[in-house]
Amino acid sequence: MSIKSSVRKIVRFLTLQNGPTAVEYAFLLLLIVLVCLKAIDMIGQSTNQTLENSGDEISTAIEGGGDAGGETDEGSGSGETDADSGESGGGDTNNKRGRPVPKPTTPRRSRG
């Protein structure tokens, strides 16, 4: 195959309507692929940053290095209940979160 025949084929390809249309579609496809790759790259970076932040907060919470943005299980009070303080009565002790604990009820016997 000589250079002359190759040049003729290229010229014929470019002068036909199918040639420029194929080139336009190739450029369009290339542009779409580049946009998709950039979008995937940006989403990947955002996800990576989010996971790193979450990992840092979890590590901080596990190490006990302070409040990692969430609440702890410890209540705002002393955490002492009536049973701990030696007081008797009531039964309205507070759990770890400082919420009142309901008194246990005894089952009622049916009359009859």
What pLDDT, in 10s, does the model give residues 45-64? 999 999 999 999 999 988 87
The two three-digit tokens of residue 54, written as one number: 């979450």
Residue 108 lies in a domain: no
State pLDDT tens for residues 66-112: 554 555 555 445 454 544 444 444 555 555 666 676 676 777 777 75
Instruction: Decide if 34 is inside a domain.
Output: yes
CB within 8 A of 66, min separation 6: which ones?
Answer: 60
Within a domain: residue 27?
yes
Residues spanned by the domain of 29: 22-46
Is 83 a domain residue? no
For residue 31, being part of any structural domain is answered with yes
Question: Is residue 62, in this structure, part of any structural domain at all?
Answer: no
What pTM did the predictor assign?
A: 0.39
Q: b vs e for 21-38, b when ≥16 Cβ sit within 10 Å of the residue's Cβ?
A: eeeeeeeeeeeeeeeeee
The answer to whether position 29 is within a domain reads: yes
Count of structural domains within the chain = 1
Whether 36 is in a domain gets the answer: yes
